[in-house]
Homo-oligomer: A and B are copies of this chain.
Protein backbone atom coordinates (compact mmCIF):
# COMPACT_ATOMS: atom_id res chain seq x y z
CA UNK A 1 0.00 0.00 0.00
CA UNK A 2 1.21 3.49 -0.87
CA UNK A 3 1.29 6.22 1.73
CA UNK A 4 -1.53 8.73 1.14
CA UNK A 5 -1.43 12.46 1.83
CA UNK A 6 -4.03 15.19 1.80
CA UNK A 7 -2.70 18.11 -0.24
CA UNK A 8 -5.69 20.42 -0.32
CA UNK A 9 -8.92 21.08 1.55
CA UNK A 10 -11.99 23.23 0.94
CA UNK A 11 -15.26 23.78 2.69
CA UNK A 12 -18.33 25.85 1.97
CA UNK A 13 -20.13 27.78 4.67
CA UNK A 14 -22.52 25.41 6.46
CA UNK A 15 -26.08 26.46 7.17
CA UNK A 16 -29.30 27.39 5.44
CA UNK A 17 -27.97 28.49 2.09
CA UNK A 18 -31.08 29.97 0.50
CA UNK A 19 -29.06 31.92 -2.05
CA UNK A 20 -27.09 28.95 -3.39
CA UNK A 21 -27.97 25.83 -5.30
CA UNK A 22 -26.44 22.42 -4.70
CA UNK A 23 -24.06 22.90 -7.62
CA UNK A 24 -22.83 26.30 -6.38
CA UNK A 25 -22.11 24.95 -2.92
CA UNK A 26 -20.09 21.99 -4.17
CA UNK A 27 -18.13 24.04 -6.65
CA UNK A 28 -17.23 26.67 -4.03
CA UNK A 29 -15.73 23.96 -1.81
CA UNK A 30 -13.96 22.36 -4.76
CA UNK A 31 -12.40 25.60 -5.96
CA UNK A 32 -11.13 26.31 -2.44
CA UNK A 33 -9.55 22.85 -2.29
CA UNK A 34 -7.90 23.18 -5.70
CA UNK A 35 -6.51 26.60 -4.79
CA UNK A 36 -5.31 25.25 -1.47
CA UNK A 37 -3.49 22.42 -3.24
CA UNK A 38 -2.28 24.65 -6.06
CA UNK A 39 -3.39 22.31 -8.79
CA UNK A 40 -5.71 22.41 -11.77
CA UNK A 41 -8.84 20.38 -12.24
CA UNK A 42 -7.39 18.47 -15.17
CA UNK A 43 -4.81 16.87 -12.88
CA UNK A 44 -7.58 15.06 -10.98
CA UNK A 45 -7.69 11.37 -11.94
CA UNK A 46 -10.85 10.25 -10.16
CA UNK A 47 -13.55 11.53 -7.86
CA UNK A 48 -15.67 10.05 -5.08
CA UNK A 49 -18.71 11.92 -3.84
CA UNK A 50 -20.59 11.37 -0.59
CA UNK A 51 -24.24 12.35 -0.78
CA UNK A 52 -27.10 10.83 1.14
CA UNK A 53 -30.32 11.81 -0.55
CA UNK A 54 -29.92 13.80 -3.73
CA UNK A 55 -32.86 11.83 -5.05
CA UNK A 56 -35.20 13.13 -2.40
CA UNK A 57 -33.69 16.53 -1.56
CA UNK A 58 -33.10 17.54 -5.18
CA UNK A 59 -34.89 14.96 -7.35
CA UNK A 60 -31.38 14.38 -8.69
CA UNK A 61 -29.40 11.15 -8.56
CA UNK A 62 -26.25 10.51 -10.63
CA UNK A 63 -24.67 13.16 -8.39
CA UNK A 64 -21.03 12.23 -8.99
CA UNK A 65 -21.28 12.62 -12.76
CA UNK A 66 -23.10 15.90 -12.17
CA UNK A 67 -20.31 17.23 -9.97
CA UNK A 68 -17.53 16.11 -12.32
CA UNK A 69 -19.43 17.90 -15.10
CA UNK A 70 -20.00 21.13 -13.17
CA UNK A 71 -16.39 21.10 -11.99
CA UNK A 72 -15.39 21.34 -15.65
CA UNK A 73 -14.00 17.82 -15.72
CA UNK A 74 -16.46 16.18 -18.12
CA UNK A 75 -14.08 16.58 -21.03
CA UNK A 76 -11.53 14.46 -19.17
CA UNK A 77 -14.00 11.60 -18.70
CA UNK A 78 -12.65 10.70 -15.26
CA UNK A 79 -14.42 8.04 -13.20
CA UNK A 80 -16.68 9.79 -10.71
CA UNK A 81 -18.48 7.66 -8.15
CA UNK A 82 -21.17 8.48 -5.64
CA UNK A 83 -21.16 6.54 -2.40
CA UNK A 84 -23.87 6.54 0.23
CA UNK A 85 -24.29 5.36 3.80
CA UNK A 86 -26.69 7.97 5.17
CA UNK A 87 -24.75 10.64 7.06
CA UNK A 88 -21.59 8.53 6.82
CA UNK A 89 -21.54 9.12 3.06
CA UNK A 90 -18.74 11.67 3.31
CA UNK A 91 -16.56 9.30 5.29
CA UNK A 92 -17.17 6.61 2.68
CA UNK A 93 -16.08 8.99 -0.10
CA UNK A 94 -12.91 9.74 1.84
CA UNK A 95 -12.27 6.03 2.33
CA UNK A 96 -12.82 5.09 -1.31
CA UNK A 97 -10.52 7.92 -2.41
CA UNK A 98 -7.94 6.77 0.14
CA UNK A 99 -8.12 3.20 -1.19
CA UNK A 100 -7.79 4.40 -4.79
CA UNK A 101 -4.52 6.15 -3.97
CA UNK A 102 -3.22 3.63 -1.41
CA UNK A 103 -3.64 0.81 -3.92
CA UNK A 104 -1.61 2.66 -6.53
CA UNK A 105 -4.49 2.85 -9.02
CA UNK A 106 -4.52 6.66 -8.97
CA UNK A 107 -2.14 9.40 -7.89
CA UNK A 108 -4.49 12.36 -7.36
CA UNK A 109 -8.09 11.82 -6.29
CA UNK A 110 -10.87 14.06 -4.97
CA UNK A 111 -13.14 13.11 -2.09
CA UNK A 112 -16.16 15.38 -1.91
CA UNK A 113 -19.20 15.43 0.32
CA UNK A 114 -22.25 17.55 -0.32
CA UNK A 115 -25.87 17.92 0.66
CA UNK A 116 -28.53 20.57 0.03
CA UNK A 117 -31.41 19.96 2.41
CA UNK A 118 -33.32 23.25 2.50
CA UNK A 119 -34.99 22.97 -0.89
CA UNK A 120 -37.73 20.66 0.41
CA UNK A 121 -40.52 21.18 2.91
CA UNK A 122 -39.61 18.79 5.68
CA UNK A 123 -35.99 17.70 5.38
CA UNK A 124 -36.11 15.73 8.65
CA UNK A 125 -38.57 13.27 7.09
CA UNK A 126 -35.86 12.27 4.68
CA UNK A 127 -33.38 11.57 7.47
CA UNK A 128 -35.60 8.70 8.59
CA UNK A 129 -34.46 6.79 5.51
CA UNK A 130 -31.09 6.38 7.27
CA UNK A 131 -32.61 4.00 9.83
CA UNK A 132 -34.56 0.79 9.24
CA UNK A 133 -37.68 2.01 7.52
CA UNK A 134 -39.65 -1.21 7.90
CA UNK A 135 -38.80 -1.94 11.55
CA UNK A 136 -38.15 1.53 12.93
CA UNK A 137 -39.53 4.20 10.59
CA UNK A 138 -42.91 2.57 9.98
CA UNK A 139 -43.69 2.42 13.69
CA UNK A 140 -42.92 6.10 14.09
CA UNK A 141 -39.31 6.04 15.25
CA UNK A 142 -37.21 9.02 14.24
CA UNK A 143 -33.51 9.72 14.69
CA UNK A 144 -34.08 11.84 17.85
CA UNK A 145 -36.39 9.14 19.26
CA UNK A 146 -33.84 6.36 18.78
CA UNK A 147 -30.99 8.40 20.23
CA UNK A 148 -33.32 9.35 23.11
CA UNK A 149 -33.78 5.66 23.90
CA UNK A 150 -30.01 5.25 23.90
CA UNK A 151 -29.55 8.35 26.09
CA UNK A 152 -32.18 7.21 28.59
CA UNK A 153 -30.55 3.82 29.01
CA UNK A 154 -27.10 5.41 29.33
CA UNK A 155 -28.44 7.68 32.07
CA UNK A 156 -30.08 4.81 33.89
CA UNK A 157 -27.18 2.40 33.59
CA UNK A 158 -24.20 4.72 34.00
CA UNK A 159 -25.57 7.78 35.76
CA UNK A 160 -25.06 10.16 32.87
CA UNK A 161 -27.08 13.35 33.45
CA UNK A 162 -28.94 15.75 31.21
CA UNK A 163 -26.36 18.31 32.41
CA UNK A 164 -23.58 16.19 30.88
CA UNK A 165 -25.35 16.18 27.53
CA UNK A 166 -25.84 19.93 27.81
CA UNK A 167 -22.11 20.39 28.46
CA UNK A 168 -21.33 18.72 25.11
CA UNK A 169 -23.58 21.23 23.40
CA UNK A 170 -22.06 24.19 25.29
CA UNK A 171 -18.54 23.06 24.35
CA UNK A 172 -19.37 22.58 20.70
CA UNK A 173 -21.10 25.94 20.44
CA UNK A 174 -18.07 27.57 22.06
CA UNK A 175 -15.83 26.00 19.40
CA UNK A 176 -18.24 26.79 16.59
CA UNK A 177 -18.17 30.45 17.54
CA UNK A 178 -14.49 30.43 16.48
CA UNK A 179 -15.12 28.74 13.12
CA UNK A 180 -15.94 31.09 10.22
CA UNK A 181 -17.58 28.22 8.29
CA UNK A 182 -19.89 27.20 11.15
CA UNK A 183 -23.66 27.44 10.97
CA UNK A 184 -24.02 28.63 14.59
CA UNK A 185 -21.30 31.02 15.69
CA UNK A 186 -22.77 31.76 19.07
CA UNK A 187 -21.80 30.57 22.51
CA UNK A 188 -24.60 29.26 24.67
CA UNK A 189 -24.90 28.81 28.43
CA UNK A 190 -25.70 25.53 30.08
CA UNK A 191 -29.01 27.09 31.17
CA UNK A 192 -29.94 27.79 27.56
CA UNK A 193 -29.28 24.16 26.71
CA UNK A 194 -31.07 22.77 29.75
CA UNK A 195 -34.07 25.06 29.38
CA UNK A 196 -34.57 24.32 25.70
CA UNK A 197 -37.62 22.35 24.67
CA UNK A 198 -37.63 18.56 24.59
CA UNK A 199 -37.44 17.05 21.13
CA UNK A 200 -37.51 13.47 22.43
CA UNK A 201 -36.99 13.28 26.15
CA UNK A 202 -34.25 13.37 27.48
CA UNK A 203 -32.92 15.04 24.30
CA UNK A 204 -33.68 18.74 23.99
CA UNK A 205 -33.36 21.15 21.10
CA UNK A 206 -29.74 21.89 22.02
CA UNK A 207 -28.88 18.18 22.13
CA UNK A 208 -29.73 17.82 18.43
CA UNK A 209 -27.52 18.88 15.55
CA UNK A 210 -29.29 20.83 12.83
CA UNK A 211 -29.36 19.49 9.31
CA UNK A 212 -27.64 21.87 7.00
CA UNK A 213 -26.61 22.72 3.48
CA UNK A 214 -22.90 22.42 2.84
CA UNK A 215 -20.06 20.80 0.97
CA UNK A 216 -16.48 19.85 1.70
CA UNK A 217 -13.67 18.63 -0.52
CA UNK A 218 -10.28 17.09 0.17
CA UNK A 219 -7.64 16.26 -2.42
CA UNK A 220 -5.61 13.13 -1.84
CA UNK A 221 -2.31 12.21 -3.44
CA UNK A 222 0.32 9.57 -3.13
CA UNK A 223 3.24 10.62 -0.92
CA UNK A 224 5.62 11.09 -3.86
CA UNK A 225 3.18 13.27 -5.79
CA UNK A 226 2.17 15.19 -2.66
CA UNK A 227 5.68 16.53 -2.22
CA UNK A 228 5.41 18.41 -5.52
CA UNK A 229 2.40 20.33 -4.29
CA UNK A 230 2.86 21.02 -0.62
CA UNK A 231 5.36 21.31 2.20
CA UNK A 232 2.65 20.55 4.74
CA UNK A 233 1.05 17.28 3.70
CA UNK A 234 -1.22 15.61 6.20
CA UNK A 235 -1.07 11.84 5.98
CA UNK A 236 -3.91 9.38 6.28
CA UNK A 237 -2.46 6.64 8.46
CA UNK A 238 -5.61 4.50 8.34
CA UNK A 239 -9.20 4.69 7.19
CA UNK A 240 -11.42 1.85 8.39
CA UNK A 241 -15.07 1.12 7.81
CA UNK A 242 -17.41 -1.27 9.60
CA UNK A 243 -21.13 -2.02 9.75
CA UNK A 244 -23.67 -3.05 12.36
CA UNK A 245 -27.33 -4.07 12.49
CA UNK A 246 -29.43 -1.37 10.84
CA UNK A 247 -32.16 -1.40 13.50
CA UNK A 248 -30.95 -0.81 17.05
CA UNK A 249 -33.42 -3.42 18.35
CA UNK A 250 -31.22 -6.18 16.90
CA UNK A 251 -28.06 -5.11 18.69
CA UNK A 252 -26.93 -6.96 21.78
CA UNK A 253 -26.16 -3.69 23.56
CA UNK A 254 -27.64 -0.48 22.20
CA UNK A 255 -25.11 1.51 24.22
CA UNK A 256 -22.22 0.17 22.13
CA UNK A 257 -21.85 0.90 18.44
CA UNK A 258 -19.97 -2.18 17.30
CA UNK A 259 -19.25 -0.55 13.95
CA UNK A 260 -17.29 2.15 15.78
CA UNK A 261 -15.48 -0.29 18.05
CA UNK A 262 -14.42 -2.50 15.14
CA UNK A 263 -13.45 0.34 12.79
CA UNK A 264 -11.46 2.06 15.55
CA UNK A 265 -9.56 -1.11 16.48
CA UNK A 266 -8.66 -1.71 12.84
CA UNK A 267 -7.60 1.89 12.38
CA UNK A 268 -5.41 2.01 15.50
CA UNK A 269 -3.78 -1.24 14.44
CA UNK A 270 -3.10 -0.12 10.89
CA UNK A 271 -1.78 3.25 12.06
CA UNK A 272 0.31 1.48 14.71
CA UNK A 273 -0.84 3.82 17.44
CA UNK A 274 -2.77 3.64 20.67
CA UNK A 275 -5.80 5.67 21.63
CA UNK A 276 -3.71 7.87 23.88
CA UNK A 277 -1.64 9.02 20.90
CA UNK A 278 -4.60 10.94 19.48
CA UNK A 279 -4.25 14.70 20.04
CA UNK A 280 -7.46 15.98 18.46
CA UNK A 281 -10.66 14.37 17.22
CA UNK A 282 -13.79 15.18 15.28
CA UNK A 283 -16.62 12.84 16.25
CA UNK A 284 -20.17 12.45 15.00
CA UNK A 285 -22.28 14.42 17.51
CA UNK A 286 -25.54 14.26 15.59
CA UNK A 287 -26.93 14.14 19.12
CA UNK A 288 -24.98 15.00 22.26
CA UNK A 289 -25.32 11.43 23.53
CA UNK A 290 -23.56 10.27 20.35
CA UNK A 291 -20.46 12.24 21.36
CA UNK A 292 -20.48 10.55 24.78
CA UNK A 293 -20.81 7.13 23.10
CA UNK A 294 -17.99 8.03 20.73
CA UNK A 295 -15.63 8.76 23.66
CA UNK A 296 -16.34 5.23 24.88
CA UNK A 297 -16.46 3.28 21.63
CA UNK A 298 -13.26 4.92 20.39
CA UNK A 299 -11.59 3.81 23.62
CA UNK A 300 -10.89 7.29 25.05
CA UNK A 301 -12.54 5.99 28.24
CA UNK A 302 -14.17 2.76 29.36
CA UNK A 303 -17.80 2.04 28.51
CA UNK A 304 -20.06 4.07 30.77
CA UNK A 305 -17.46 6.70 31.65
CA UNK A 306 -17.98 9.02 28.69
CA UNK A 307 -19.61 11.79 30.71
CA UNK A 308 -16.47 12.10 32.84
CA UNK A 309 -14.52 13.50 29.89
CA UNK A 310 -16.94 16.35 29.34
CA UNK A 311 -17.43 17.04 33.06
CA UNK A 312 -13.68 17.28 33.63
CA UNK A 313 -13.12 19.47 30.58
CA UNK A 314 -10.79 16.96 28.92
CA UNK A 315 -12.42 17.42 25.50
CA UNK A 316 -12.64 21.23 25.71
CA UNK A 317 -10.67 23.23 23.13
CA UNK A 318 -7.69 23.52 25.46
CA UNK A 319 -8.23 20.28 27.32
CA UNK A 320 -5.98 17.24 27.00
CA UNK A 321 -7.97 15.79 24.10
CA UNK A 322 -9.92 18.46 22.22
CA UNK A 323 -12.98 17.00 20.49
CA UNK A 324 -14.99 18.77 17.79
CA UNK A 325 -12.84 21.86 17.59
CA UNK A 326 -14.86 22.81 14.50
CA UNK A 327 -18.01 23.06 16.58
CA UNK A 328 -18.97 19.54 15.54
CA UNK A 329 -22.22 18.65 13.88
CA UNK A 330 -24.02 20.59 16.61
CA UNK A 331 -22.56 24.04 15.92
CA UNK A 332 -20.61 23.78 12.67
CA UNK A 333 -23.70 22.16 11.19
CA UNK A 334 -24.54 18.75 9.80
CA UNK A 335 -24.67 18.78 6.03
CA UNK A 336 -25.34 15.01 6.02
CA UNK A 337 -23.28 13.66 3.11
CA UNK A 338 -20.72 16.45 3.56
CA UNK A 339 -19.99 15.84 7.23
CA UNK A 340 -17.41 13.05 6.93
CA UNK A 341 -15.33 15.12 4.53
CA UNK A 342 -15.84 18.30 6.58
CA UNK A 343 -14.42 16.47 9.61
CA UNK A 344 -11.31 15.60 7.58
CA UNK A 345 -10.97 19.26 6.57
CA UNK A 346 -10.95 20.29 10.25
CA UNK A 347 -8.34 17.73 11.24
CA UNK A 348 -6.12 18.75 8.32
CA UNK A 349 -6.38 22.43 9.31
CA UNK A 350 -5.50 21.55 12.92
CA UNK A 351 -2.51 19.40 11.95
CA UNK A 352 -1.21 22.01 9.52
CA UNK A 353 -1.61 24.80 12.08
CA UNK A 354 -4.19 26.58 9.93
CA UNK A 355 -7.14 26.42 12.35
CA UNK A 356 -7.02 30.08 13.37
CA UNK A 357 -8.60 30.98 16.70
CA UNK A 358 -9.49 27.39 17.43
CA UNK A 359 -5.95 26.05 16.84
CA UNK A 360 -4.78 23.33 19.20
CA UNK A 361 -1.42 21.62 19.46
CA UNK A 362 -1.70 18.32 17.62
CA UNK A 363 0.36 15.84 15.67
CA UNK A 364 -2.18 13.07 15.28
CA UNK A 365 -5.91 13.42 14.71
CA UNK A 366 -8.93 11.16 14.37
CA UNK A 367 -12.28 11.52 12.66
CA UNK A 368 -15.35 9.40 13.33
CA UNK A 369 -18.24 9.58 10.87
CA UNK A 370 -21.43 7.61 11.58
CA UNK A 371 -24.43 6.68 9.44
CA UNK A 372 -27.86 6.81 11.10
CA UNK A 373 -27.64 5.20 14.52
CA UNK A 374 -24.33 3.49 13.74
CA UNK A 375 -25.03 0.87 11.08
CA UNK A 376 -22.01 2.34 9.31
CA UNK A 377 -18.92 3.87 10.88
CA UNK A 378 -15.70 5.17 9.36
CA UNK A 379 -12.69 5.94 11.52
CA UNK A 380 -9.81 7.83 9.95
CA UNK A 381 -6.45 8.58 11.53
CA UNK A 382 -4.35 11.48 10.34
CA UNK A 383 -0.79 12.57 11.13
CA UNK A 384 1.32 15.49 10.10
Contacts and interface: CB of A to CB of B under 8 A. Distances in A.
A109 interface: no
A12 B199 CA distance: 43
Contact of A246 (B69, B86, B250, B262): B69
B103 A55 contact: no
A306 interface: no
A62 B372 CA distance: 8
For chain A, the bracket of interface size reads 35 or more
B86 A62 contact: yes
A257 B54 CA distance: 24
A139 B55 CA distance: 18
A16 interface: no
Contacts of A54: 129
Contacts of A263: 77
A167 B250 CA distance: 52
Given A99-B103, A376-B62, A78 B242 contact: yes
A61 B86 contact: yes
Interface string A134-173: 1001000000000000000000000000000000000000
Given A62-B375, A100-B99, A376-B62, A79 B130 contact: no
Contact of A61 (B96, B130, B243): B130
A126 interface: yes
Nearest to A79: B241
Interface string A87-124: 00000100010011011110000000000000000000
A126 to B, nearest CB: 7
Contacts of A79: 240-243
Protomer copies: 2
B99 A68 contact: no
B99 A137 contact: no
A102 B104 CA distance: 11
B77 A85 contact: no
A83 B65 CA distance: 12
A68 B137 CA distance: 19
B59 A128 contact: yes
A246 B65 contact: yes
B55 A56 contact: yes
A200 interface: no
A335 interface: no
Contact of A132 (B66, B68, B126, B241): B66
A246 B66 contact: yes
A300 interface: no
Contact of A78 (B60, B66, B243, B372): B243
Contact of A74 (B84, B129, B243): B243
A58 B56 CA distance: 11
A31 B244 CA distance: 20
A231 to B, nearest CB: 29
5 contacts: A59-B133, A60-B129, A60-B134, A69-B250, A83-B84
Given A65-B85, A99-B103, 13 more contacts: A59-B137, A61-B130, A62-B86, A62-B129, A66-B132, A74-B244, A74-B250, A77-B242, A77-B243, A77-B259, A77-B262, A78-B242, A81-B85
